[in-house]
Structure 1
Amino acid sequence: MIVKKREISRKILALEAILRRLPESHHKRQIIERDLSKYNSGYQGEKALNYYLSFIDENKYQIFHNLRLRNGEYFFQIDTLILTTSFALLIEVKNMSGKLVFEPEFNQLIRSIDEKEEGFPNPLLQIKRQQIQFEKWLDRHRYIPMPIEILVINSHSGSILKGNKFISKYVCKIDRVLEKIQELEKRYTTDILNVKEIRKIGNLLLKKDTPPNTLSLLKKYSISPSNIITGVQCPQCNEFPMVYNRRKWQCSKCRTISKDAHIKALQDYFNLFKNTISNTEFRQFLHIDSIFSASKLLNSLKLEKHGERKGRIYSPTKDFLQ
């Protein structure tokens, strides 16, 4: 069964927020648009895997998507983890077009499109590092060592994969993922852990999963917070800012009226600036004059509340940011 479902990453949400609120003339827009396109492509590739995994026996497998775990002072990320009583499988998903040549001598991936070649890090090295990290993570939490297999899949239907026999053992196109899992089932027939132990590991994985921090993205792209447009964006014409009056938002340009346009603005704030917000900060960012109106809006949302009265601050629940 799917224990942790696949969700759009906060990095994608944060980049979308930056583009929403960055002036059209800003010189960093093109770089951010390129990076967002790359992350979206990867996310679409990961979502394509869901279809194929829906065919496996949900009573035999626990499936976790987008795990980010800590080993000491460092984090490592797993696109998809499949746990069984006899083995674990780490899957790294790529969504790359063109002819992909896995070059073992220099450990690189070469992509050819329209007679142009481009080099990429070898994803096999990446997933082998994840394998080592996950082995250490299990050992750190005192679990019995179990076989940990790896698989790199490419979800782009028009791609061509080239490599030697060793490469083909660990790399395939997405339509062969079920075949690869069946091969592992035949190889590992002895239970290492029982169902109760697997469930215990699953609960710990969920507890230790740590979403990436997106609050440093503005710094990464050298964007000053003062460059970010504040206010509530009109959902119809994308104009800033909407005006709040009598429990509704109205666009000064197209006259669109909305009762919940503030939700997207608050999500943008949490993804770009801080994991908490006060009534004062809420009013400043959303351009609201009334303390009472701001308080009613904040308390109507599914936010965690800390403190009392003037000292109260609000933080997002995981569901609020999706």
Structure 2
Amino acid sequence: MKIKKRSKPLPLRKLDVIIPRLSPQFPRLPEMKEEAKKQGRGYSGEIKVDYHLEILASRYTLLDDVYLHNNSKNFQIDSLIAGNHGIFIIETKNYMGTIIFDSILKQLIRDDGNVESGFNYPITQTETQKFHLRNWLLKHRLTHIPIYYFIAIADPTTIIKVDGDREAISKVVAHAARIPGMIIEKDQELAQAGKPKLPDYQIGKMILHECGVYDMDIMGQFGLTCRNLLPGVFCPGCGIRGMQRIHGGWICRKCRHKSYYAHVKEVHDYVLLNGSITNTECMWLLGLNSRSTATRVLQKSGLIYLKEPKCWVKKTRIY
């Protein structure tokens, strides 16, 4: 069964929140849009691979987006499958055009029809994940568990070529639709070799218990502060920023769409970026003139009020 499902990565969620609130003149905006595009493509590829791996949920234990800490190192695994006789790491790659695995120089080359680009070698990357996972398992007294990995190519139209050892590459690299069969075949090989049956669900739960959430300081990475963000409530109808506050709700100045809850997403997005929000920040973000209105809005937004002395500094409450 699947005991950990995939959600949109926090860094991508933050980029989706920040980009619409930046001035078109912000110097690093193109770089941020390119980063969001890159992360979005990766996430889309993982969803495609998840679709094919779901077939294994009836016989194995599946975890999406595993993020573990071991010996002062964090490591991330796109998909982890605890089988009957081994553990399988799935690394997803979502490239369009033609990709070439150079097994001699240990490099991945992509040719999109216009330009060739070089990338880190996925097999080296996944071998590192295997090394970290093995050490994590040893630390938790789970020894002698076979660990294998596969590179799943998300887009079925991607052409896979090999420069070097084609047979070795073909054993670990395939389009996503082939990966479940490769896992089942390998697990059956382990059974025939006399490997003991694993408590796959218990192993999966142990991993789940220690899973963290991968995050990045997007604001710091791109040199942003809250002063760079533009305030205003986005219209759920047309997407324009700057809805006007009316009694008990909001109205869009452009399409006249009315909403009672348009502000909730804005408040939650601000907390996603900053960890908390004060009524002063709420007034600025939503364009409110009344502190009491900001307090009511925050109290009804599903946030937790921090009842600490520092929250009363300058009569500002923190949520």
TM-score, length basis structure 2: 0.88
1:167 equivalent among 152, 169, 173: 169
What residue number does 1:283 align with? 283
Q: Is the 8 A contact 1:155 1:174 kept in 2?
A: yes
The 3 A distance-change label for structure 1 pair 289 and 206 is farther
What residue number does 1:135 align with? 134
What residue number does 1:154 align with? 153
Q: Is the 8 A contact 2:86 2:198 kept in 1?
A: no
State the Cα distance separating 1:279 from its structure 2 match.
Answer: 3.2
Q: C-alpha offsets along residues 169-189 of structure 1, whole Å, 9 cap, x if unaligned? A: 111111211221121121121
Q: C-alpha offsets along residues 77-124 of structure 1, whole Å, 9 cap, x if unaligned? A: 110000124111000011111221111121101112326321111111
2: CA distance between counterparts of 1:239 and 1:161? 43
The 3 A distance-change label for structure 1 pair 173 and 70 is same
Q: Is the 8 A contact 1:138 1:145 kept in 2?
A: no
Give, as a single letter, the amino acid of the residue that structure 2 aligns with 1:68. Answer: Y
1: CA distance between counterparts of 2:114 and 2:17? 36
What residue number does 2:99 align with? 100
State the Cα distance separating 1:231 from its structure 2 match.
Answer: 2.4
Name whichever of 99-108 and 284-293 sits farther off.
Answer: 284-293
How many residue pairs match? The answer is 309
State the Cα distance separating 1:192 from its structure 2 match.
Answer: 4.2
1:211 equivalent among 210, 213, 220: 213
What residue number does 1:187 align with? 189
State the Cα distance separating 1:52 from its structure 2 match.
Answer: 1.4
* Unmatched runs of 5 consecutive residues or more in structure 2: none
What residue number does 2:221 align with? 220
1: CA distance between counterparts of 2:39 and 2:88? 23
Q: C-alpha offsets along residues 63-90 of structure 1, whole Å, 9 cap, x if unaligned? A: 1111211123221111000012411100
TM-score, length basis structure 1: 0.87
2: CA distance between counterparts of 1:279 and 1:150? 50
Name the SS of the counterpart of 2:56 in structure 1: coil
What residue number does 2:179 align with? 177
State the Cα distance separating 1:141 from its structure 2 match.
Answer: 2.2
Give, as a single letter, the amino acid of the residue that structure 2 aligns with 1:38. Answer: K
State the Cα distance separating 1:241 from its structure 2 match.
Answer: 2.6
What residue number does 2:261 align with? 260
What residue number does 1:49 align with? 49
What residue number does 1:269 align with? 270
Instruction: Verify: 1:6 aligned to 2:6, yes or no.
Output: yes
Name the SS of the counterpart of 1:27 in structure 2: coil
State the Cα distance separating 1:128 from its structure 2 match.
Answer: 0.9
Q: Is the 8 A contact 1:135 1:145 kept in 2?
A: no
What CA RMSD, in Å, does the superposition of the two structures yield over aligned residues? Answer: 2.2
The 3 A distance-change label for structure 1 pair 304 and 118 is same
State the Cα distance separating 1:191 from its structure 2 match.
Answer: 5.9
State the Cα distance separating 1:264 from its structure 2 match.
Answer: 2.1
Q: C-alpha offsets along residues 37-67 of structure 1, whole Å, 9 cap, x if unaligned? A: 1111111111111221222252x21111112
Q: Is the 8 A contact 2:62 2:204 kept in 1?
A: no
Give, as a single letter, the amino acid of the residue that structure 2 aligns with 1:111. Answer: R
The 3 A distance-change label for structure 1 pair 72 and 282 is farther
